[in-house]
Amino acid sequence: MPHIDVAVFCPLDQTFTYEWPESLGEMPSAGCRVKVPFGRRTVTGLVVRPTLAAPSEEAAKKIRPIEELIDREPLWDSPSWATWLWMADYYQHPIGDALATTLPAGLAKGGQPEPAKGRLLDMSGDTRYAAADMAAATTSSQKAVMRAAAAHEGGVTRLALIEETEAPRVVDLLIRTGALQPVRGGHQKHALTAAQSEAAGQIKDALDGFSVTLLDGVTGSGKTEVYMEAIEEVIAQGKQVLYLVPEIGLTPQTCGRLEQRFEVCVLHSKLSEKDRLLAWELARTGAVSVIVGTRSALFTPMPNLGLIVIDEEHDSSFKQDTHLRYHARDVAIYLANKRGVPVVLGSATPSAESYRNAVAGRYRHLQLTERATGAQMPKMEVIDAKSLPHPDGISQPALHAIRRTLAAGGQALVYLPRRGFSHALFCTTCGWASECPNCSARMVFHRGRGKLICHHCTESSHQPGACPKCLAEVIPLGAGTERAEAALSEALGEDYVLRLDTDVLSSTTAMHEAFNRIRKGDPLCIVGTQLLAKGHDFPNVTLVVVTGTDSALFSADARASERLIQQITQVAGRSGRSKPGRVLIQTSQAENPVIQQLINEGYHATLAGLVRAYEETMLPPVCAHALLTVETTDRDEGRLLLEQVIDRIDDPALVGPFPAIMERRAGSHRYQAVVLAESRKERHTLLKRMRQEWKTLGTRYPLMIDVDPSQLS
């Protein structure tokens, strides 16, 4: 009887051999799901291949039969399947666990995709709907909603219709069933600039095969319009587009613009499991032309794929930092190569990896050096805060500039890297600080909730009325967005201050309402975290204040300065879109060479200097880098385990062990080692040997491997 190797969805680093019973018919292809006995349970797995070597007679007696074939056809085409296998191998992750990542939870549990009928709800809030099929309304409430929609010439948004009819479930049902249809063509195509036309033309000329293009355009240069020109051409050829964004909840404008021109399926974390399966099937059957989503949208089957767009390619959100630590940008490029389709990487602040590839000629490098509207880039200035008191995060010069901006009818944007009221609570009498009991970190004070919260393990406790150690008064240490909001509200008035961070924007609706308030253009001071650096278009923002930059300048992470100049440049890019803008960088390190070069020479010159430093020191991303982490309950056990393996391998490319920057997290002690190899091949060989040696230790603690880590942590 034939045998098949199956990847079972578990963290064990192997496939499992099963017998293929004749009663189930023909042997399945790789990429089909099966149900198999696993211990005392029946679990779902994916067929990897027919067993290469026939098991011995003795071994064959222990092999159990497959119980059920779920899919008669593979879930993906051969190039996609080959990419997922490569991904598991490249990122040195157990194959079953890696392949489980590629499936929606419902399919991983053995469920079936939803029939490709109906549509998903608009997540951007910008899509307008019109009454398309009045006869589909069968109840009085449905008829009332359809009449309300029909009364709006040019269509009505979902949120406006819900507010008008107070019938959210009915509105959503009519959208899903297609009785309410999106109004297409409402988006007026902008006349492209000469630079945009040239870039779009070069991308369209490269649609017939694999290539990688870096669309390197300043903030406000109109990269989205260039994408849409290429997308229109791809759809005209009967093909599909995968459009990856770092965080779906932060791009309502982009999604709205796409939805007004194309049939779009948006994948995001707010989707129910049923809608995830529907999205999967809509893409698999070719019922939608454009799939927009975060990194996991990469795994959606698209039979007619013709283009992959990766917007904000530099963003660290594309790199998963737990479990299977893959980078969606890099896997997408490998997939595009396998499928013979082009990739467009877009950013105003390209990553060092993409910049080096473009300079070396491996990527086509298209540059948009001017804003599409002709507006000037904002002027950057430094506020030397070394001798200026700013306990609330905002110095007096910054506050004066904000006041002047609002008085002139403009909007100001204040960026802080941390949410919460303060970084910690501190006792000036005995030195007590609000340390997390589980982590090597301080608990952040959230005054609105009256709590101390660890942002790493979520441990929380109530705000102490006094120092728990000596009963003296405690004071807030450092400033987060909540503290800055309070200070600015007192100085400017509550009606003129809006905070944007994940503490207050808990839903897509809340985000949409906040962005609508900003777009109205009334005088407003917007306070927020990195949410503000995600490609939003705020036309009336004429002042940006950037604070909290100092810690990145002294980080142990070699790439912290690169991330800092990306954040500053991205936040600065919100200013001066339609009126002259100004950017104030508040820092105690005003003479720092990185800050000075960014102000005087711009992002690309500063990045080029950092890349030269990477090359001179053979630091990532120049070398082939991997980070190895062990988390143990005993303080020294991880160090001892790593020492054993490192001593056995005895390779100069393997450095460590050393305590992690955060030595303790969620109750576990963390030790690390790094691989700094000259080539990917050398790194791959070394990591495979490391995994083999780790197995011989017989430890219950897994070795966590992060290939091409985005940061040390």
**Collapsed DSSP state (helix, strand, coil) of residue 305:** strand
B/e letters for 152-177, b = 16+ CB within 10 Å, e = fewer, are: beebbbbbbbbeebebeebbebbbbe
Dump the DSSP string for 26-95: SPPPTT-EEEEEETTEEEEEEEEEE-SSPPPHHHHTTPPBP-EE--SS-SS-HHHHHHHHHHHHHTT--H
Please count the CA atoms within 13 angstroms of the CA of 681 that sit on its side-chain side. 0
Dump the DSSP string for 490-519: HHH-GGGEEEESTTT--SHHHHHHHHHHHH
> Edge-to-edge, what's the strand order for the sheet holding 411-415?
379-384, 582-587, 541-546, 411-415, 524-528, 497-500
Structure tokens, 8? 């079972």
Is 427 known as a binding-site position?
A: yes
Is 470 known as a binding-site position?
A: yes
Peptide bond into 417 cis (omega under 30): no
**Would you give the distance in Å from CA 403 to the centre of its chain?**
34
Structure tokens, 276? 């995830």
Contact indicator for 113, 138 with CB cutoff of 8 Å: no
For residue 193, the 8-state DSSP code is P
Is 436 known as a binding-site position?
A: yes
Is 10 known as a binding-site position?
A: no
Is 439 known as a binding-site position?
A: yes
Dump the DSSP string for 598-664: HHHH-HHHHHHHHHHHHHHHT-TTSSEEEEEEEEESSTTHHHHHHHHHHHHH--TTEEEEEEEEEEE
Q: Phi and psi (nearest 5°) for 601?
A: -120, -15
Query: What Cα–Cα distance (Å) separates residue 81 from each residue in 4, 30, 75?
Result: 17, 8, 9
Contact indicator for 412, 544 with CB cutoff of 8 Å: yes
B/e letters for 669-694, b = 16+ CB within 10 Å, e = fewer, are: bbbbbbbbbeeeeebbebbeebbebb
Plot region of 63 (φ>0 → left; ψ -120 to 50 → alpha; else → beta): beta
Is 255 known as a binding-site position?
A: no
Give dist(CA 659, CA 636) in Å, integer. Answer: 10
**Collapsed DSSP state (helix, strand, coil) of residue 197:** helix
Q: Give the residues across from 624 on adjacent strands.
A: 677
Strands 541-546 and 654-665 turn out to be unpaired
**Would you give the distance in Å from CA 462 to the centre of its chain?**
32
B/e letters for 588-614, b = 16+ CB within 10 Å, e = fewer, are: ebeebebbebbbeeebbebbbbbbeeb
Amino acid code (one letter) for 149: A
Largest pairwise CA distance in the chain: 86
Binding residues: 427, 430, 436, 439, 454, 457, 467, 470
Which residues does the annotation place in the binding site for Zn(2+)? 427, 430, 436, 439, 454, 457, 467, 470
